[in-house]
A and B are shown apart, each in its own frame.
Chain A
Amino acid sequence: MSVAASVDAVRGSLRLQVEVTVADGEVLALLGPNGAGKSTFVRILAGLLRPDRGRVVVDGEIWDDGATFVPAHRRELGMVFQDALLFPHLSVADNVAFGLRTRGMRRGAARERAAGWLARVGLEELGDRRPAELSGGQAQRAALARALAGDPSLLLLDEPLSALDARTRLAVRAELRRHLAGFAGSTVLVTHDPVDALALADRVVVVEEGRVVQTGTPVEVSRRPRTDYVARLVGLALLPGTGAGMLVRLDGGGTVAVAEETSGPVFAAVRPESVALYPTRPAGSPRNVWPARVVAATPHGATVRCELAGQVPLVADVTAASFAEMGLAPGAEVWASVKASEVAVYAR
């Protein structure tokens, strides 16, 4: 494996204890809410912060282990920050060539290489511009070219898309995905947006309050979230409980019927589209039926996402048409039902 880092650091009121490994060519996403310590962690990887205790080893070379500390400028890395942070006094091309020049490449060669990178991110026409003349998306592309131009063994992306507007973010994300696929080194992506993590990463590490709470592939993390935060991000209702055969007794009271036998502490996860809402108790005998109250409703494309309160807190997606038909609004009393086969259940 190419990057192995474990960090124990106190920053303000936060104790950060995170351990990760990233293979060559792998993209690891650190996903977590603001203030979870993700940025602190990548700044430690970059050598911009020195942890109280920690170990950073890249390609067998010790960057940081308490005794040895390789300063940031001697680490073979590239970093992209939330705001592109292109040097305002240099042209776009000189920005991209900056790292090559500081690492001793001759001016001509550096310019040529920078031009090549600008072409790869689709900015070949803009090399002579000043950064202030670029749009947000263009600036972030140039920042990516600047980070990659030095051929780093580790690429750090600290919320690279957060400062962009929605439409630009989509385009830059797609482009980032393309470049990451072609990048031979290890990548660590910090984001609080699950879409970034799911779209770009091979593996996701969820960090909350300075600790790793879940690790897995994007599919695993989104299908089987282990904390409320992730569940909420991926739009699932997460119900912790105890398995009892084909039933899960929820910690918050009530039971959920499931399609497979379980025992011990488990999570039951319910996707919003599998929750059906009824104005009155539905006829027939669906086993999972609960009374609930709509507490929030937000339009989501052609559907409306309703947050439900009650003994079993759920999230339900209903079509805009039935939302209107049923006269739903925050405060409305409804019945929610889920098929047992639609409930994902997995060990805690």
Chain B
Amino acid sequence: MNRETSRVPAPLLLPAALGVAFLLLPLVGLLVRTPWSQLGNQLAAPGVGEALRLSLLSATLATALSLLLGVPLAWVLARSRARGVSVLRALVTVPLVLPPVVGGVALFLVLGRQGIVGSWLDDAFGITIPFTTAAVVIAETFVAMPFLVISVEGALRAADARFEDVAATLGAGRWTTFRRVTLPLVAPGVAAGAVLCWARALGEFGATITFAGNFPGTTQTMPLAVYLALQRDPEAAVVLSVVLLAVSLATLLLLRDRWLGRGAA
């Protein structure tokens, strides 16, 4: 049985269908143009494996860094009643709307050799960040961490805070309560946020190329490799894109089945 009112009104049907086509056609086009017979050769080409490995590594490191910093930050945003928290929340989400290239420029100005922090790092420790793999990780973290923060903050707000009261009456201090009660309760939100964060980091382009450059082996991640390949060897670009598409789809499926399946779907 279907609710009569849940049927789609006719005027919405056509735009909705066009929307689906608009989103799916490019992907279909990509798959149609993929030189499936040469897939093996292309993937084995020097540089491809390297870019893929670097992408996976840097996205994973960026996610780890985001977890380390973002979960505590989300807790503060969700629970702190201090003034200015709402301003802080707005600031934290700026990277979400900021063009990644601008983020890259900003990072460069702070962490570059002439930057405020960068010059000090250079003088004191002889550390240079731009154009290294570390710069890739930092650029990806900058862009991707807000996805994690927002997801975890939402989970924290939705979690029943009375469980924390119960934990307190059972002798658990705030830190114990956070580790043994709050964190497990919001684990699905943390996991979903981490996956989103990882997917965003994997696809990061603008901030990375600005701040970390495009050096094969150290800073050339998959998206950069795709862009570069498109100019020299379109067929290689298609192959690289298909690989990224496969990774993204796998992520999506993982998200849906594991964490979003219960509530949504």
Contact = CB atoms under 8 A, between A and B. Distances in A.
A150 B163 contact: no
A156 B169 CA distance: 10
Contacts, number: 69
Contacts of B184: 87, 89-90
A324 to B, nearest CB: 44
Nearest to B165: A48
Interface stretch (B70-78, B121-129, B136-144, B170-178): B170-178
B162 A85 contact: yes
A77 B169 contact: yes
Contacts of A102: 167, 170-173, 176, 180
Give the interface residue-count category, chain A: 20 to 34
B170 A99 contact: yes
Contact of B162 (A81, A90, A146): A81
A103 interface: yes
Contacts of B106: none
B185 A150 contact: no
B43 interface: no
B185 A79 contact: no
B181 interface: yes
A147 B176 CA distance: 18
Nearest to A75: B169
Interface string A87-104: 111100000001100110
Contacts of B185: 87-89
Interface string B188-229: 000000000000000000000000000000000000000000
Contacts of A79: 166, 169
B70 to A, nearest CB: 21
B171 A46 contact: no
B187 interface: yes
A73 B168 contact: yes
A298 B171 CA distance: 47
B72 to A, nearest CB: 20
Contacts of B170: 73, 78, 98-99, 102, 146, 150
A47 B172 CA distance: 13
Nearest to B187: A89
A150 B166 contact: no
B168 A47 contact: yes
Contacts of A77: 169
A72 interface: yes
A122 interface: no
A57 to B, nearest CB: 18
Contact of A85 (B163, B171, B176, B180): B163
B197 to A, nearest CB: 22
Contacts of A252: none
Interface string A132-158: 000000000000001100100000100
A48 B163 CA distance: 12
A245 interface: no
A208 B96 CA distance: 51
B181 A99 contact: no
Contacts of A156: 169
A264 interface: no
Contacts of A282: none
A187 to B, nearest CB: 14
Contacts of A73: 167-174, 176-177
Given A87-B181, A89-B184, A102-B176, A81 B166 contact: yes
A150 B168 contact: no
B163 A99 contact: no
A87 B165 contact: no
Interface in A45-95: 46-48, 71-75, 77-79, 81, 83, 85, 87-90
Contacts of B169: 46, 48, 72-73, 75, 77-79, 147, 156
B166 A87 contact: yes
Name the residue among B171, B174, B184, B185 with the largest chain A CB count within 10 angstroms: B171
Given A87-B181, A89-B185, A89-B187, A103 B171 contact: yes
Interface in A27-50: 43, 46-48
B188 to A, nearest CB: 10
A324 B72 CA distance: 69
B95 to A, nearest CB: 31
16 contacts: A46-B165, A47-B168, A48-B165, A71-B168, A71-B173, A73-B168, A73-B169, A73-B171, A85-B163, A85-B166, A87-B163, A87-B185, A98-B180, A102-B167, A102-B176, A150-B170
Given A48-B168, A71-B168, A85-B166, 20 more contacts: A43-B165, A46-B169, A48-B165, A71-B173, A73-B177, A77-B169, A81-B162, A81-B166, A83-B162, A85-B160, A85-B162, A87-B163, A87-B167, A88-B185, A99-B170, A99-B171, A102-B170, A150-B170, A150-B171, A156-B169
Interface of B: 160, 162-163, 165-174, 176-177, 180-181, 184-185, 187
